[in-house]
Structure 1
Amino acid sequence: MEEYKKAVLAHYEAIKNDLHSDFLLHPTTARLRSLCTVLFDSLNADDRVIFTRFFKPDSLDANLSFNDVAKFDIDKFKPLLGFMKSEATPRKTVVIELLAILIDYQPRPLKKFSKIGIKQVELNDESEKVDLPQIPDYNNGGEKEKEKEKEKENIATFNNDRKNEDEEASVEETSIIVDSTEDKPVPGDATSPQPPPKNYVKMVFVFLLVAIGGGYLAKSDLLKEKGCMIWRQDHYEKVACDYELDPSGGEKIEPVNEQLLKYQRKVKITDTTRFINPDGTKRFFYGKNAEQQMEYFTLPGRHPETGKLLKELSDYMMKKHFVSTGN
């Protein structure tokens, strides 16, 4: 379990600037709930089980709905937020599992991670086995026991010798490095450290270039595989991932989010619009555009143009901006 916690937290630190950065780079309890609503329709079977355990722990056999997530008490995300900020370790495993879903960590859940981890240990153990001479079989039972004890001693001696040889080799390599640097003439102060060889500097420089280029290509391939999208007036459309900004209009091109692509719409609201769902939840979220004009959307998240967090259309806002709110 400890290895799983460390792996999930390390993955979060690695991707928070790229994957769902609007929600994960500077997380709050409200943003974490909003991200859960964004990912809700794309959950696989294992992820849906985790969501149900987190959002409806007292009725695990019931179907989890979108509104169960959207209306969930944001204070219950505090253990998750504390874990993400390395302030505290949550007591419940489901909190770790939920973070793994939000950051798309693989392998998940814990049971799958544990199986893969055990297989990896077995493979490592197989690669480190050493063939030892076979002990002959004797009819005398006492002789067999003696030979078994002798075999154990031989194995222990072999492992100790192997360890000593590795340590001696490490010391010899260190000595060679020290001798090679101490024998060289040093200009000026004899105690000043030598600069690294030019070839070494070139190798490091080339390695960095290759690493950066490889990372960029890998990211580009991932984006091309998943696709990108762009905001067009009142909805998202799929586009190629060839640019960061649209050459024709300058709009930001971002990795595709299937939830936003399918369901996020900018809508016009009047005093005859139905603001509340049959179950009592609010239907719309609002935010101001660059001209400080109020705009309304069907999903939570970020304003597609300004990037600011959208807010739920409350009773106060409905009464302030619309004549009738009873529908």
Structure 2
Amino acid sequence: MHSNTLEDLYKKAIKEKYEEAKNGDDFFFLNAPTRGKLNKLCWEKFTNNDMPSSDLNVFNSLLGLSFDISSKNKFKQETDLFRPVEKFFKGETDPDKIDVVDMAAILVDFQPRPFNKFRKEIDPENLKLIEELRDTNHDKNGFFSDILPDKVETEKFPELKNDEVEKDKNEEIKQDEAEEVEQDENQDLEKIPTGIFTPIKKVGEGGTNSGLKRSLIIAAFLLGLILIVYLNMSQKDCMQWMGDHYEKIERSDDGYCDTYYDARYFDLKKIEVCDTTEFFDDSGRAKVWYIKIGNSVECYNQHAPYPENRQRFLKPITQHIINKYLSNRPKCN
């Protein structure tokens, strides 16, 4: 597989994220982007968030200076450096410099980023299967080329884990979605990577047509993926944040839904911590999740996207955050 395949996929996924983000909280900066607006948005992103080292590296590499909150005036003079990002968002150029694309990913909060992380997160087996199908007569109209970026957008990569889980990330075993096909004369079913079963007819008594069988397996895999996306997008119910919890509501008559109902996050609640709040369980894992707003933090009962801005995610509480922001907790009633 050529690297430009992944780069093109990365760029297309970011552009799709941009189309979503430009109508969100950063509408002013992204709906009609200019280099000046993108410069301001970049400064806000890096000032108001604890940016990972990879984002800081992109900042340094693209702009030629390290992020320093005291150098705002100097940074404001670097608007021309955002011209390639502006042209990328507008579809006027296809940047060769990956730092430009990585900066675009930061501005729309696309995950996983940067590109080096993106290419490691994408399962090479799935891409290989789809690339093979693209080269066959089964994709005369580019059908699967259009589906592939949707796969990346719908498979939400977890951005948030407990500190211990994050340290053990390299020890996780990747699931092999391309399971070995059973070749048994008495079986008429083939198991495909996602657990979907499809009947495969024998081609004569002498054996099977392996090329046809493989194409059918790939097609069934992609059709299963389409079904998952369709069911996810065709949900009837929405949920609305009521200040400290979600409530389920009906979708509006025009079909618009600000937040689709998601059972994983529906029980999210904003909590007021006090002197007897238990922040960790017996194993040391966080029981409280937080987000930093200005010079204070808000606390919640579980991990989830931040309900006031779903492009940000709640983080597991740490002793450092408790000591810095929650040391003067009120007494519980």
Q: TM-score range by the shorter chain?
A: 0.3 to 0.5
With normalisation by structure 2, the TM-score equals 0.43
Structure number with greater Rg is 1
